[in-house]
């Protein structure tokens, strides 16, 4: 049977409340979870946290930059700026949204499927190749005949 990390922490919390020592808790986890068991140092670390009064067995949120700025809300903000002024520049969008240049470009190109034509943002048109474009070339009478 496989247990998630959070479930294993709950098991550690239970055995810690019963007064078991770290070695016995680790052995129990290995006997039940096998190779997916937390290593001894993690069992020891979580046991110390629970003894100090920690209640939750989930990870605390970490500070720092979010994993992605390409959220639905940011996509909508970029799209609204473009729709309100088709001549808006990427730099203006960056200034209004606080997003980086690269993020704005990825939202415009990949998510909104837009491109810049004659200083205006327009939806990309799918390319369709016609059989008359380039494949059926004929010699022009009186031409050089290359």
Q: What percent of the chain has pLDDT over 90?
A: 56
State residue 2's pLDDT score.
83
List, in order, residues 6 or more apart from 9 with CB less than 8 Å away. Answer: 38, 46, 57, 58
CA separation for the pair 70, 108 (Å, rounded)? 10
CA separation for the pair 93, 79 (Å, rounded)? 10
Residue 136 has what DSSP assignment? T
On the question of pLDDT at 132 being above 60, the answer is no
CA separation for the pair 23, 40 (Å, rounded)? 8
**pLDDT tens digit string along 91-120?**
999 999 999 999 999 999 999 999 888 778
pLDDT band for 83, please (50, 70, 90 cuts).
very high
State residue 118's pLDDT score.
79
| Radius of gyration for the chain, computed over Cα atoms and rounded to the nearest angstrom | 30
Cβ atoms 99, 81 nearer than 8 A: no
CB atoms within 10 A of CB 13: 19
On the question of pLDDT at 66 being above 70, the answer is no
- Select the more confidently predicted residue: 10 or 141: 10
State residue 138's pLDDT score.
52
Q: Hey, which residues does 117 pair with through a beta bridge?
A: 120
HSE-up of residue 112 (Cα within 13 Å, Cβ side):
27
Tell me which range, 5-9, 118-122, 126-130, 139-143, is most confidently predicted by mean pLDDT: 5-9
């Amino acid at each position: 049977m496989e247990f998630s990390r959070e479930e294993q922490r709950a098991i550690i919390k239970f055995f810690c409340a019963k007064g078991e020592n770290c070695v016995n808790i680790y052995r129990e986890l290995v006997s039940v979870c096998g190779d997916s068991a937390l290593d001894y140092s993690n069992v020891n670390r979580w046991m110390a946290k629970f003894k100090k009064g920690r209640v939750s067995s989930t990870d605390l949120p970490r500070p720092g930059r979010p994993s992605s700025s390409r959220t639905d809300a940011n996509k909508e903000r970029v799209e609204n700026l473009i729709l309100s002024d088709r001549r808006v520049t990427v730099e203006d969008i960056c200034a209004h949204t606080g997003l980086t240049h690269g993020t704005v470009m990825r939202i415009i190109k990949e998510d909104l499927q837009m491109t810049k034509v004659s200083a205006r943002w327009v939806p990309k048109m799918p390319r369709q190749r016609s059989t008359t474009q380039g494949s059926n070339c004929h010699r022009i009478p009186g031409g050089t005949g290359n």
